[in-house]
Amino acid sequence: MHPNLLILGGTTEATALARAVSEAGLTGTVSFAGRVDRPVRQPLPQRVGGFGGVDGLATYLRAHKITHLIDATHPFASAMSHNAVAASAQADIPMVALTRPPWSAQPGDNWTNVPDIPAAVAALDRPACNVMLAVGRMHLAEFAPNPQHTYLLRLVDPPKAPLPLPKTEIIVDRGPFSEASDRTLMETHQIDLVVSKNSGGTGASAKLAAARALGLPVLMIDRPPQPKRHELATPGDVLTWIHSTNLGV
Ligand code: 3Y8
Ligand code: NAP
């Protein structure tokens, strides 16, 4: 049976996998939620938008005769990852996650680890300072209880609605970022503290290297819990898994 893959994307690893799948001459589709105006062009056909929960994804898998589901979403996309595990079981389709390890503090780092966004908000209950809040757009409202700070926000698209924070500087940019540009950004805005998700990977790590170089403290938000699932680390591992689970060949 010829493999027909669905890759749940939105990460550097998903794009690398799509390229490897395309170069291997396999059929696949990359899926985006539709969070940003212009998702990066993919080397495979792509679809945009939610599936409609677990049942919606299971229906999509069957209707499109998907043979393998690869969850290459971001470590903080935990609802999607939970749905992927449930829908693949419901549709009886093999599923694997392509993921990357979390970052860990290195010599010279000054990190405070917090378990989740509410704990990061609690840790910001302190005298006003300049905070680089590099966690995107979707959870900004949760940071409203600390209006005393001046926030440097980096957003993929220009804000379409008023922001829930009174003192902000907006940078519209998408990763991957470089240490030099992040260091200049922090110096220009006299940043005192960096708030980061522990996303792992290479696309967002520049701000950590810049913070280390400048001796700045980092508030590091741990990943949300993920469901139990088969996890792989590289596109090559995924291609091997596809061939080993491609029944009837
Ligand atoms: C829509 C699709 C690729 C993928 C590139 C990676 C790296 C660059 C760094 C900072 C941190 C942040 C954010 C970030 C990075 C990669 C990767 C990554 C962080 C795009 C993309 C989509 C999104 C969604 C977006 C979220 C936001 C998070 C910005 C494409 C560009 C902060 C996560 O405005 C919004 O609604 C933005 C929403 C989810 C988190 C949030 O809560 O706001 N990603 N990011 C995907 C979809 O629609 O399904 O255009 O490529 C992808 C990438 N962003 O192929 O090269 O692999 O992680 N993305 C974080 O890590 O903290 C920026 O500023 O330092
Ligand atoms: P989430 O909270 O886990 O998912 C919420 C809902 O969004 C899902 O239930 C699903 O809707 C839809 N969805 C999520 N990812 C999708 C995908 N790849 N294709 C189709 N529908 C998707 O997800 P999120 O944190 O908002 O992340 C959304 C996307 O941005 C993902 O592709 C993720 O890889 C990417 N991203 C997220 C972050 C981050 O920090 N969260 C960082 C970088 C990239 P239905 O239930 O209707 O199917």
Decide which of 3.30.1370, 3.40.1400, 2.30.30, 3.40.50 is the CATH code for 111-221.
3.40.50
> Measuring from atom 32 of ligand 2, which residue has the nearest CA?
10
Q: State whether the beta carbon of 139 lies less than 6 angstroms from ligand 2.
A: no
Cα separation, 191 vs 235, whole angstroms: 37
Give ranges for CATH 3.40.50.720 in the chain.
Answer: 4-101+226-243
Decide: 67 and 88 in contact? Cβ < 8 Å: no
> Measuring from atom 35 of ligand 2, which residue has the nearest CA?
10
Give per-residue pLDDT as tens, 1-55: 799 999 999 999 999 999 999 999 999 999 999 999 998 899 999 999 999 999 9
DSSP secondary-structure letter at 100? -
Q: Which CATH superfamily is domain 4-101+226-243 in?
A: NAD(P)-binding Rossmann-like Domain (3.40.50.720)
Give per-residue pLDDT as tens, 175-200: 999 999 999 999 999 999 999 999 99
The pair of three-digit structure tokens given for residue 230, joined into one six-digit string: 């088969």
Pocket of ligand 1 (CB under 6 A): 10-12, 15, 32-36, 39-40, 74, 134-139, 154-157, 174-177, 197, 199, 201, 203-204, 207
> Measuring from atom 13 of ligand 2, which residue has the nearest CA?
33
